[in-house]
Structures are given as structure tokens and as C-alpha cells.
């Protein structure tokens, strides 16, 4: 391969790893060209799965370590395990410019801390933000921060707006994404002092990267009228968990209703195509891949409980951030 994109992969993080990780790499590698995977983890567990998937030997390299960060570890205890866990080694390869980005489905707190210990922040950005994709009526929206920062200043929220706008532009080729602040109302007087200060600054200072459209309320997040939704980590995380719980509830209740009696089963058979499209719209695997924005290299967090399809989608997001020069986009627009 000529100058391939190199993705560092923590193969040992998350449920059912390394099986889902290697299976996910196989799915992604069959759809993407000129990608090379640096896989960090226990080669005695990884190699048989690679062999089963028949992944070409010129597409990967396995860097062996039998040490890993577990889900039960705190961020601090994970860091204290040393520099030879699969997570630390994967991030370190990014630091040494041996990879263009990293993906892990492992411990979120550990990923954040070890990334911040090894990677520099983009100049003039004070705090990183965790962003993710949400489905809407008109495609996908970027939402951030989703839990990296409980308390945020006005400058932090402005930085998040720029980073989120750059991310949406890279992922979806949007000319000028529409950015809004998540708030308890759409009126200018609503919200706390930080929100109102941020609103004023974004209103008074136009940004070439995005259009600021004001406030958005929680019940309008999925309308699709806004491309980037900005919040502090406390508010954003609650909104995310609420949306995930609601989605799971709807899918579960619909499945029960369509399988509980003969009429429901007949109806589900007749409307199979529409129901499949509806389920896919709410399938979290299809928009898996949160991004820790603000660091000088792309760090992608796959959901720990996702499967191979979900992990493959996180690799796709990773690839898009590299090809779209996400970090450079942010650097060009940050103040």
C-alpha cells in the first residue's frame, strides 16, 4: 500500500474483545482501501481470530502485550498499570507519529486520562470535549460535550462550537453547519450566566466555519434543523442517556407489540421493509464512534458493549476524521 492511513487499535478494550474488534476490522477493511491497522493486544487471542477472518497480512501488524486496562479500573489505576497495556501502547503509537488515529472500546475514563497524559492539546483549547453522532429527521447531528467536562466556561462552549462545526463539516461535507446551544428554552433570557454569555459572544462574533442559530431545547434535538448541538458535559451526558433509554424502550415495546399476537405478526410481515428502516434509524451501532475533540490527534471511543458492526462504524468515523484533516480544520478556526 502507498502511504496508507494507519489506525492504532486497542484490541482488548470493551465487552467480547478481542473478537468483536478483529471482526470489526475485517468488516471495515473489506469496505475501505489503503488502511493499515496497528493492533495492540494479546497475540495468542488475536491471531486465531485474524486467521478465521482471513485478513490479508499486508493490512495489519499485531503488537503483543498481555497487559490490559479492565472496565473495573479507575482512570488513575489504569494509568498506574504502566506503559505496556494495550491501551497505553496504542495511544503512545499516536504520540510517536506511528499512527494517524486511535480507536478503543475500552474504559472511557482511562482512555481520557492516558490520552491527555500522552497527547498535547490543540493550542488555545483549554478542555477536550466528547462528541458523538445522533440520528435526526434529516440525517446526523453532532452533539458535545457528552461527559468529559461537568463544568464549562463560556470560552469552553465557544471552543466546543468550533470543534463540533469542524467535525460535522469533515464527516458530512456540510458547507456551513448550523450550531445551537442546548438550553431550557429558546428565549434569549433563558438559561444560566455561562449559557447567556456564550450566546452573546457567538451572536456578536460571526465564524466562517458555522452559522450560530441560537438555542435549542431538548425536545427538538432530533428535528434535524441544527447540525451541531453544544452543551456542558453534565447536561449533554444526561441528554444522551435519556435519548438512548428512550430509543431502547421504543424498539423493545414495538417488538413486543408485533410479536404478542397473530395480528401483530401479520402486520409486521406486511410492513417488514418499513419496520426494518425504522429499526435501522434507531440502531446505535450505525452511529457508534464518539470523538475526544481538542487533542492534537484523533482519539475515537467505541461503545464498550457494541458488536463488530458497531466497532466497524467507529473505524469508519476514525477514517473520515483522518481523511478530512479534522485537527487542521479545528486549528484554522480556533481563536
Does any domain span residue 333?
no
Average pLDDT over residues 47-74: 94
* Rg (the chain; Cα; Å): 20
Answer whether residue 170 is part of any domain.
yes
| pLDDT score recorded for residue 115 | 94
What angle (nearest 5°) sits at the alpha carbon of residue 76, between those of residues 74 and 79? 110
Residue 335, in any domain of the structure: no
118 pLDDT more than 90: yes
What share of the chain in percent tops pLDDT 70? Answer: 89
Predicted local confidence at residue 254, as pLDDT:
67
Query: Do the domain assignments include residue 332?
Result: no
In sequence order, the 6+-apart residues with CB closer than 8 A to the CB of 161 are 179, 202, 207, 210, 212, 228, 230
Q: Does 206 lie in the same domain as 96?
A: no
**Within a domain: 330:** no
Instruction: Express each pLDDT in 295-334 by its tens digit.
Output: 999 999 998 889 999 999 999 999 999 999 999 989 988 8
For residue 279, name the pLDDT band (cuts at 50, 70, 90). low
Per the domain annotation, does 202 fall within a domain? yes
Mean pLDDT computed over 265-272: 56
Domain count, the chain: 2
- Are residues 135 and 282 both part of a single domain? yes
Residues 108 and 176 in one domain: no
Q: Are residues 285 and 305 in the same domain?
A: no
Same structural domain, 68 and 178: no
What domain range is 191 assigned to? 126-292
Task: Clarify whether residues 218 and 186 are in a common domain.
Answer: yes
Residue 260 and residue 151 in one domain: yes
> What pLDDT sits at residue 121?
93
3/111 same-domain check? yes
One domain for residues 134 and 185: yes
Q: Looking at the structure, do residues 144 and 283 belong to the same domain, yes or no?
A: yes
CB burial readout 197-222, b (16+ within 10 A) else e: bbbeebeeeebebbbbbbbbebebbb
- In angstroms, the CA 210 to CA 212 distance is 6
**CATH of residue 104:** 3.40.718.10
Looking at residue 34, what is its pLDDT? Answer: 92
Residue 266 and residue 179 share a domain: yes
Residue 114 forms part of a structural domain: yes
216 lies in the same domain as 288 = yes
What are 15-44's pLDDT values in tens digits? Answer: 999 999 999 999 999 999 899 999 999 999
Amino acid at each position: 500500500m502507498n502511504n496508507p492511513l494507519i489506525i492504532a487499535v486497542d484490541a482488548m478494550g470493551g465487552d467480547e474483545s478481542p473478537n468483536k474488534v478483529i471482526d470489526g476490522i475485517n468488516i471495515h477493511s473489506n469496505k475501505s482501501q489503503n488502511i493499515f491497522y496497528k493492533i495492540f493486544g494479546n497475540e495468542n487471542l488475536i491471531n486465531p481470530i485474524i486467521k478465521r477472518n482471513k485478513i490479508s497480512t499486508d493490512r495489519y501488524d499485531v503488537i503483543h502485550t498481555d497487559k490490559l486496562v479492565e472496565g473495573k479500573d479507575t482512570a488513575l489505576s489504569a494509568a498506574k498499570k504502566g506503559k505496556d497495556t494495550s491501551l497505553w501502547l496504542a495511544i503512545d503509537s499516536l504520540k510517536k507519529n506511528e499512527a494517524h488515529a486511535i480507536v478503543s472500546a475500552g474504559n472511557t475514563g482511562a482512555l481520557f486520562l492516558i490520552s491527555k497524559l500522552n497527547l498535547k492539546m490543540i493550542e488555545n483549547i483549554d478542555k477536550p470535549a466528547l462528541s458523538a453522532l445522533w440520528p435526526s429527521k434529516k440525517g446526523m447531528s453532532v452533539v458535545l460535550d457528552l461527559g468529559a467536562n461537568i463544568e464549562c466556561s463560556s470560552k469552553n462552549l465557544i471552543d466546543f462550537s468550533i470543534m463540533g462545526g469542524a467535525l460535522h463539516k469533515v464527516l458530512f461535507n456540510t458547507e456551513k453547519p448550523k450550531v445551537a446551544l442546548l438550553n431550557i428554552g429558546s428565549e434569549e433570557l433563558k438559561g444560566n450566566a455561562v449559557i447567556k454569555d456564550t450566546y452573546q459572544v457567538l451572536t456578536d462574533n460571526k465564524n466562517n466555519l458555522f452559522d450560530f442559530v441560537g438555542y435549542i431545547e431538548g425536545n427538538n434535538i432530533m428535528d434535524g434543523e441544527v447540525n451541531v448541538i453544544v452543551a456542558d458535559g453534565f447536561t449533554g451526558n444526561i441528554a444522551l442517556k435519556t435519548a438512548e433509554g428512550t430509543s431502547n424502550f421504543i424498539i423493545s415495546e414495538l417488538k413486543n407489540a408485533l410479536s404478542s399476537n397473530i395480528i401483530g405478526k401479520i402486520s409486521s410481515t406486511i410492513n417488514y421493509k418499513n419496520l426494518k428502516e425504522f429499526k435501522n434509524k434507531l440502531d446505535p451501532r450505525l452511529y457508534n464512534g464518539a470523538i475526544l475533540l481538542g487533542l492534537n490527534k484523533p482519539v475515537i471511543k467505541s461503545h464498550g458493549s457494541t458488536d463488530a458492526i458497531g466497532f466497524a462504524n467507529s473505524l469508519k468515523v476514525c477514517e473520515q476524521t483522518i481523511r478530512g484533516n479534522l485537527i487542521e480544520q479545528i486549528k484554522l478556526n480556533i481563536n
